Amino acid sequence: MERLRQNPVGWGVSLGAIIATVSLFFIWIEVVSAAGASQRFRAIASFTGQMLLSAALIAALAGAGIAASTSGWRTVFALLALAMGSLLVAAAAWAVLDSAGFTKFAADAQALHP
- Percent of the chain with pLDDT strictly greater than 90: 15
Tell me the whole-structure pTM to 2 decimals: 0.78
> Average pLDDT over the chain, rounded to whole?
83
Distance CA 62, CA 114 (A): 30
| pLDDT mean over 21-46 | 78
pLDDT digits (tens, 9 = 90+) for 40-94: 777 787 788 888 899 999 999 998 888 888 778 888 888 999 999 999 899 889 9
CB burial of residue 34 (10 Å; 0-12, 13-18, 19+): exposed
Residues 6+ apart with CB under 8 A from 87: 52, 55
The one-letter amino acid at 84: M
List of long-range contacts for 96-103, beta carbons under 8 Å, 24+ apart: 99/29, 103/29, 103/31
Task: Enter the DSSP assignment of 43.
Answer: G
Could you give phi then psi for residue 100, rounded to 5 degrees?
-65, -45
